[in-house]
Amino acid sequence: MNTIFKRGIERQEAKQAKKKQLSNNAALVREATSDTYRWVTEYTKTYNEHWQEEGRPSPYEPFPRYEYFRHMFTLFDLEHISFIEKSRDLMVSWACVAYFTLHAMRVPQCGVIFQTQKAAKVVQLINYAKCLY
């Protein structure tokens, strides 16, 4: 009987430890996803398909910490529709994918559409969203 009682206590302790861990994980997720800039710069990795030719140690790197991204994400939160001039060097497409990926993760049943001039670019952006996720 003593052994049965001991196992019961151990099971209860294991359940409480698991519950505490889930609570800690939920708090971490809330903090990590509290704003897009924090999430994308501190909790994700980007994929650099040219990593070998650039001599980088890995294809996965932190999202760049450019201050204009913080402002862009704030603008996206404030405006229903945003227009941004095309730029190949500012990584605006990546920033848009990051913003919409986070919001699709946080909002139940949220759909996101990526529209580009070429189908191959859409596939590339969807794969990038998967990388961030």
CA pair distance 12, 16, nearest whole angstrom: 6
CA pair distance 52, 49, nearest whole angstrom: 8
Judge if 1 and 56 occupy the same domain: no
Judge if 94 and 128 occupy the same domain: yes
Judge if 20 and 79 occupy the same domain: no
Q: Which tokens hold the place of 19?
A: 């519950």
- Domain residues for the domain of 53 are 34-132
Judge if 10 and 73 occupy the same domain: no
Judge if 20 and 85 occupy the same domain: no
Judge if 116 and 60 occupy the same domain: yes
Structural domains counted in the chain: 2
Q: Quick: pLDDT tens for 50-60.
A: 899 999 999 99
127/9: higher pLDDT:
127
Judge if 73 and 44 occupy the same domain: yes
User: pLDDT class for 11, splitting at 50, 70, 90?
Assistant: confident
Judge if 105 and 43 occupy the same domain: yes
At residue 89, the pLDDT reads 79
Judge if 73 and 20 occupy the same domain: no
